[in-house]
Amino acid sequence: MEPKGDIAVIGLAVMGQNLILNMNDHGFTVVAFNRTTSKVDDFLNNEAKGTNILGAHSLAEMVALLKKPRRVMLMVKAGSAVDDFIEQWLGVLEPGDIVIDGGNSLFQDTIRRTKYVESKGLLYIGTGVSGGEEGARRGPSIMPGGSPAAWPHVKPIFQAISAKVSDGSPCCDWVGEGGAGHYVKMTHNGIEYGDMQLICEAYQIMKDGLGMTADEMHEVFKEWNQGELESYLVEITRDILGKKDEDGQPLVDKILDTAGQKGTGKWTVISSQELGIPITLIAEAVYSRCVSALKDARVEAAKVFKPSNPKFAGDRKQWVSDIRKALYASKIISYTQGYMLMRAAAQQHGWNLNYGGIALMWRGGCIIRSVFLGEIKKAFDKNPNLTNLLLDPFFKKAIKSCARSWRKVVSAAVKKGIPAPAFSTALAFFDGLRSERLPANLLQAQRDYFGAHTYERIDKPRGEFFHTNWTGSGGRVASSTYTV
């Protein structure tokens, strides 16, 4: 009998199960496999009952059920489990078969694995899948990269199961070679950290600066979700603020204020450091989670340094409008930085990224989905070579119309001692970017003074380096110039 399986999915945790059910809904025959094989039977007898999903209890059985070229997709924990599976598969798959990793793998691992699997004659795809459980079930954002020759074979499945935007375009397209898909997914997660932090800062300013209750803020987020901030994260914030505990009090007020993290935000920041790209907002978002984790230290310090009166003076409605604008402007900065990062990574790794396509992939299905991403898509459609999102006419106008409120909110937060690190760093970055002359002339002089690191001059061509004997007692020899 001819094998019927279109694709195998390995790993029956919640994301894996939901992706399988989603593929089944779209008419694909999926083979389900899991290391602990009892989970296969459990799945077939419950969630997958009455569907066309096939179970396999060994890799050999799985392979026998698949049409060629075989497509096998891993939905297991990132790390060594992926390498273990690749080794096992290389023993049972054939040249031309396609290995897909749908976990949150580090992009360097995906670069390495793509090369390795290709060296064995097979094809590799490392893909970001975003949208949580619900996304996996109803339509995630999917960001595939790896071996270009594999794409036509997985495209029909991935684009069928992905989220769609209003005109029907799928939130899934080929991202690029090697680790490009996982890089874009990592950047997505970094931006997600930033978006969440911005919302949280707006919340804290409204709570502490304006004395607003969760119910009142629920109304504010409801309104914000009807304008330019309309997004999944604003929507769930609205719902969270409206949720009551069993005693009728807002649940959010009872949740301990220490945040966890799994590492993709940190990876984004590490990559930005390596590439020398300032993604200051995401970095502050990661560090803010670290500060939140210092609960005991904060409780101690608050006993000594607690701000005496954090309340803002003035009209509350006006403040809420200012905070919305500060959030919007800061968000524009965060995406500007995120796109700068992807552009630098693409250059370093030789990826031909489609920036408008990335905005479209993020437009639906994933955690950062928003109306805002539609504007980014438009900006790149108009100018595919746009190097700085801030220079697009739409965003230029938006930043200009928010600037006064942004400064007002950041200065009030500073004056009153309410932490707003992401709002503030966004503004500092903006001010840095629009400074034709920064104090780095002095910095270079300092470096040359103590380390003979040399400097360039404004009255000489770039690339000519000078050293001054600042004290009259140092040597004549300059250290070689280098930039890390």
Longest dimension (CA), the chain: 89
* Angstrom distance (rounded) from CA 441 to CA 456: 9
Kind of pairing, strands 54-55 and 30-33?
Answer: parallel
In whole angstroms, the minimum distance from the beta carbon of 20 to ligand 2AM comes to: 12
Q: How far apart are CA 101 and CA 80, in angstroms?
A: 12
Contact call for residue 34 and ligand 2AM (CB under 6 A): yes
If one asks whether residue 133 binds ligand 2AM (CB under 6 A), the answer comes out as: no
Instruction: Identify the residue among 7, 8, 9, 12 touching ligand 2AM (CB under 6 A).
Output: 12
CB of 89 to ligand 2AM, least distance (A): 12
Give the interface segment with ligand 2AM, choosing from 9-17, 164-172, 217-225, 452-460 (CB under 6 A): 9-17
Closest separation in Å from C-beta 35 to ligand 2AM = 3
Please say if 185 is a catalytic residue: yes
Select the span of 33-41, 130-138, 359-367, 403-411 touching ligand 2AM (CB under 6 A): 33-41
Say whether residue 84 binds ligand 2AM (CB under 6 A): yes
Report the distance separating Cα 427 and Cα 378, nearest Å: 24
* Binds ligand 2AM (CB under 6 A): choice among 1, 2, 36, 437: 36
113: which residues sit within 8 A by CB, 6+ positions away?
82, 83, 86, 101, 105, 124, 126
User: How is residue 446 written in tokens?
Assistant: 């300092």
What is the distance between the alpha carbons of residues 453 and 198, in angstroms, rounded to a whole number? 39
Binds ligand 2AM by CB under 6 A, chosen from 4, 13, 133, 226:
13
Residue 414 in contact with ligand 2AM, rule: CB under 6 A: no
CA-CA distance, 113 to 319, in Å (whole number)? 51
Q: Residue 192 catalytic?
A: yes
Q: Can you name the residues that pair with 137 across neighbouring β-strands?
A: none
Residue 77 found at the interface with ligand 2AM (CB under 6 A):
yes
> Which ranges of 53-179 does DSSP label H, i.e. alpha helix?
59-64, 80-92, 107-119, 132-138, 151-161
Q: Which of 185, 207, 266, 331 is catalytic?
A: 185
Residue 276's nearest CA partner among 39, 482, 20, 134 is 482
- How many residues sit close enough to ligand 2AM to count as binding (CB under 6 A)? 11
The window from 35-43, 60-68, 322-330, 365-373 that contacts ligand 2AM (CB under 6 A) reads 35-43
Task: Report which residue type is found at 71.
Answer: R
Q: Using the rule CB under 6 A, is 102 a contact of ligand 2AM? A: no
Specify the residue, 77 or 243, whose C-beta has the smaller distance to ligand 2AM.
77
Member of 44, 64, 81, 92 binding ligand 2AM (CB under 6 A)? 81
Given a contact cutoff of 8 angstroms between Cβ atoms, the answer to whether 465 and 478 are in contact is yes
Q: How far apart are CA 147 and CA 138, in angstroms?
A: 27
β pairing state of 141-146 and 176-177: parallel
Least distance (Å) from ligand 2AM to the CB of residue 13? 4
Query: Residue 262 interacts with ligand 2AM (CB under 6 A)?
Result: no
* Active-site residue, from 2, 49, 67, 192: 192
Q: How far apart are CA 270 and CA 205, in angstroms?
A: 29
- The residues binding ligand 2AM (CB under 6 A) are 11-13, 34-36, 39, 76-77, 81, 84
Residues labelled as active-site residues: 185, 192
